[in-house]
Amino acid sequence: MMVDPEGFGRRLGDVRDRIAAAAARAGRDTGEITLMAVTKTHGPEAVDLAAEAGLRHIGENRVQEAAKKQHGVKAEVFWELIGPVQSNKARLAAAHFDRVQTVERAKIVRALCRACEELGRPELPVLVQVNVSEDPRKAGVSVADAPALAEAVRAAEHLRLEGLMTIPALDDDPDVARRAFAGLRELRDRLSDRLGLPLPVLSMGMTGDLDAAVEEGSTLLRVGTALFGERESGFSA
């Protein structure tokens, strides 16, 4: 699906206004919040358009789609995997992404670690994905099991734990997402103390809930629809 540059520019302005307003309400500095462009289902030109506008973090949820798209991208960007990693795609993921946000099981920790070894990649930054809302349809480790998984990542050679990511349960009540974001921040604070690691990255907030995410401490927003318009159906989170 082609993206139109004019529409993108206008939508980007609107998203930046939302971020600024939410940051002001929370007394936060917008400089500590990264807006990542989620380009899944869009072509390489969407990535170049985002990069040209200063959005250097690019989110993709399918390893193979991203690997293919990267050939057509001219800009230097930072590729982030925000979709599930199957063990048999771990090597492709470690080869094509700068960071993996979806570590949710010990098996993935081992698979990524092995992939780095095989590729001769000294270090792969990762986030642990937490299912704070305990939504059975959403991926992520439970809050209760997150400390053990975070320890496993920390102990894994080649993986660098930088923070946490969550996708809240879909709910008409906006407080559901807000509680999940606050929960992720509190978990980060506890894990950071326990592990003695800073864990600066909180990846939370999408098109529908980025305002609450900023107010609750997000440092990395994953935004697709609000930047590029509606995706064709069949491709959702």
Ligand X SMILES: *Cc1c(COP(=O)(O)O)cnc(C)c1O
List interacting residues with ligand X (CB under 6 A).
Answer: 38, 40, 61, 82-83, 167, 206-208, 222-226, 237
Q: How far is the CA of 205 from the CAs of 202, 219, 227, in angstroms?
A: 9, 9, 14
Could you tell me where the beta strands, DSSP code E, fall in 23-77?
Answer: 34-38, 57-60
For the bound state, the minimum distance from the C-beta of residue 11 to ligand X, rounded and expressed in Å, comes to 11
Q: Toward ligand X, which CB reaches closer, 87 or 225?
A: 225
Q: Toward ligand X, which CB reaches closer, 70 or 207?
A: 207
For the bound state, the minimum distance from the C-beta of residue 211 to ligand X, rounded and expressed in Å, comes to 12
Q: Toward ligand X, which CB reaches closer, 53 or 195?
A: 53
Distance CA 208, CA 15 (A): 11
Take residue 60 and report the two structure tokens written for it: 């993709």
For the bound state, the minimum distance from the C-beta of residue 148 to ligand X, rounded and expressed in Å, comes to 23
Q: Toward ligand X, which CB reaches closer, 151 or 229?
A: 229
Distance CA 111, CA 217 (A): 31
Distance CA 200, CA 184 (A): 12
For the bound state, the minimum distance from the C-beta of residue 223 to ligand X, rounded and expressed in Å, comes to 5
